[in-house]
Amino acid sequence: MGVSVVIRCIGREKLFCGVLDHILCQTIAPSEILVVMDSINERETAYVNKHLEAYPNCKLQTFRHEEFSHPYSVNLGVDSSKEDFVCITNGHSLPSSPHWLGSGLRHFEDEKVAAVGGFFFPSNRGFSKNLFFLVEGPAKRISWVSTINCIIRKSRWEEYPFDENLLNIIPETKKYGGEDYDWTLEMISRGFKVVLDQDFSVVHAHEKDIVLEICRNLRNYFIYRKLQEKIKKLRRPRKALKFSRKEYADKELPS
């Protein structure tokens, strides 16, 4: 079962090299790794492109900073992929184990599964993970997949790409995203399944301090709850703005 991995980066993420190493150590090796990156800093773009030379089957796709949006950066990566199964993550999310990809892919034996997602922990250490479940557990019972870490069927994406028009309908999505929640609801409305698997999880952190990271996640939880209520009110099934490579997308840079 072939799988493409898309790593989204705004700039050169602090954990970028570690993310690559973790992905390349998976028990199921991806057939390709696509790094989708904002090209605002030419020095960082050159660094990442040079760094990818040491990795097999990796390539860099850049886009201009002023045209960034969450759905467009995801769509650009999925469109560039060659496999029907596309894993989407970012440059500051470390796979939780060498079985990460395998854990997600196993669910696609069911043809009705459109996507698989997991949780995202502030740390992979026992105490921190337990604290995460104690404080944030209720927030993670919602059955939707996040582009922080998910695997989708490209064939389903071709029918309904991540909707770039969502930014016009609900302006807050420009900053906070929400295209993944919209995509999940759309798949369910069309009769497909989304699956959450704890074994398909990542260590996702912006802060060095775990307590600050949990506080940040809790704050965002209430923001996203309000945002999701707006997305939930959209009539379904619905059409997404058809994705096409825009003229301002930078050319693909081979490794």
Residue type, 249: A
3-state secondary structure the chain: CCEEEEEEECCCCCCHHHHHHHHHCCCCCCCEEEEEEECCCHHHHHHHHHHHHHCCCEEEEEECHHHCCHHHHHHHHHHHCCCCEEEEEECCEEECCCCHHHHHHHHHHCCCEEEEECCEECCCCHHHHHHHHHHHHHHHHCCCCECCEEEEEHHHHHHCCCCCCHHHHCCCHHHHCCHHHHHHHHHHHCCCEEEECCCCCEEECCCCCHHHHHHHHHHHHHHHHHHHHHHHCCCCCCCCCCCCCCCCEEEEEEC
Q: pLDDT band for position 127 (50/70/90)?
A: very low
Per residue in 67-76, pLDDT (tens digit) is 889 999 999 9
Task: Give the pLDDT confidence score for residue 121 in this predicted structure.
Answer: 75
| CATH no., domain 3-242 | 3.90.550.10
Per residue in 139-189, pLDDT (tens digit) is 454 568 899 899 999 999 999 999 999 999 999 998 889 999 999 999 999
Given a cut of 50, whether residue 248 has pLDDT beyond it is no
25-29, 90-94, 222-226, 239-243, range with the lowest pLDDT: 222-226
Q: pLDDT band for position 56 (50/70/90)?
A: confident
Per residue in 96-126, pLDDT (tens digit) is 899 999 999 999 999 999 999 988 776 555 5
Task: Give the pLDDT confidence score for residue 133 in this predicted structure.
Answer: 52
In degrees to the nearest 10, what's the CA dihedral of 115, 111, 154, 71? -30
Taking each helix axis as running N to C, give the angle between helix 126-136 and helix 210-232, from 0 to 180 degrees, rounded to the nearest 10.
40
Predicted TM-score of the model (pTM): 0.86
